[in-house]
Chain A
């Protein structure tokens, strides 16, 4: 009989426990769901704001896309203006350039220069000046030969200019151009 009473008491206690826990959990559930609902609404409002005011964001995305595209398209590009300027600046008065043209030598773009000089020494001086330039990797003289003097020019020559490593075209991510010197 005592055991029977013990089971009965445990049974009633459990029942009371459950009856007490249920509303407590229920109340907390309501609170949590109310807060959840409020946060969801707030998030929706922020999302709507972002959606409505995304012009600068879209612009930024487009800027990044176009910058990447321009750099990819330009790839490794020689600054031909710079090379042509060096060829002119290093040229002694005794030398004239007749032809400058690009060409390929073992998959490397090179510049070929055909010209005339008053003497072979002037060609040597020209090559020496060109070799001082950091922008040019090396200079190869294909030939220097004597010709019948025309207007004081008695030698003709052909030089091959190797530009070496070509720089990757880079845009200044601030808006203006710059070159990557790395």
Chain B
């Protein structure tokens, strides 16, 4: 077996080359890692970009009917206002009572009931009026611009005044409990 003789100079040279090569390999791996990370980030951003572009397009389409949306929101805010006061509620009922030509006898609000996301305001309405108009009043309470949930209803009539019906209603109005 023939032994190879390597001079110390060659050995040093080979070591330098080996170290250099290792450094280069390390750099290449590092570069590759950075490259793959950047590719991953790029893909994520591209996907995000697509989603954002769709969001923007949706927003533009929504913007075209912004007026209708705001109108609808205002109407819903009337149904369930964020104001905790009861004056609007009383005013609304008063308007309905006047519209129905009723003789209002009592309009009392009771303590608010805290529910999940809103407050219920029980309100006792006592009045006298014509049977047909009471029907319209009840319809208005349910389907009107400010819906009420009627929980109790009592109606009676007096023989001496057959056209007038005495009506007592316990209804719940609602107020949004979300803080602005």
Given known A-B contacts A63-B69, A169-B147, A99 and B52 have beta carbons under 8 A apart: no
Q: Closest residue of chain A to B158, judged by CB?
A: A98
Stretch at the interface among A38-46, A122-130, A135-143, A154-162: A38-46
For chain A, the bracket of interface size reads 35 or more
Q: What is the distance, in angstroms, from A33's C-beta to the closest C-beta of chain B?
A: 5
For the residues of A in contact with B, the DSSP-based class is helix
* Contact residues of B between 129 and 143, Cβ < 8 Å to A: 131-132, 134-139, 141-143
Q: Does A147 contact B (CB under 8 A)?
A: no
| B115 and A73 contact, CB distance less than 8 A | yes
Q: Closest residue of chain A to B42, judged by CB?
A: A36
Q: Does B83 contact A (CB under 8 A)?
A: no
Instruction: Mark contacts of B3-18 with chain A using CB atoms, 8 A cut-off: 1 yes-contact digit, 0 otherwise.
Output: 0101000000010011
Select A81's contact among B55, B69, B142, beta carbons within 8 Å. B142
Given known A-B contacts A28-B35, A59-B70, A72-B117, A98 and B28 have beta carbons under 8 A apart: no
| A69 and B153 contact, CB distance less than 8 A | no
Instruction: Give the docked Cα–Cα distance between A72 and B176 (Å).
Output: 12
Contacts of A96 in B (CB 8 A): 157, 162
Given known A-B contacts A22-B28, A26-B31, A29-B35, A84 and B73 have beta carbons under 8 A apart: no
Q: Does A19 contact B (CB under 8 A)?
A: yes
| B4 and A1 contact, CB distance less than 8 A | yes
Q: What is the distance, in angstroms, from A69's C-beta to the closest C-beta of chain B?
A: 5
Q: Does B106 contact A (CB under 8 A)?
A: no
Select B118's contact among A33, A42, A56, A73, beta carbons within 8 Å. A73
| A4 and B4 contact, CB distance less than 8 A | yes
Select A53's contact among B59, B142, B153, beta carbons within 8 Å. B59
Q: Does A148 contact B (CB under 8 A)?
A: no
- A sample of 26 cross-chain residue pairs with beta-carbon separation below 8 angstroms, ordered by A number, consists of A4-B4, A14-B21, A15-B17, A21-B28, A25-B32, A25-B35, A36-B38, A36-B45, A40-B45, A42-B49, A43-B45, A53-B59, A54-B59, A56-B59, A62-B73, A62-B77, A66-B76, A81-B135, A84-B134, A84-B135, A99-B155, A101-B154, A102-B152, A102-B153, A169-B149, A175-B68
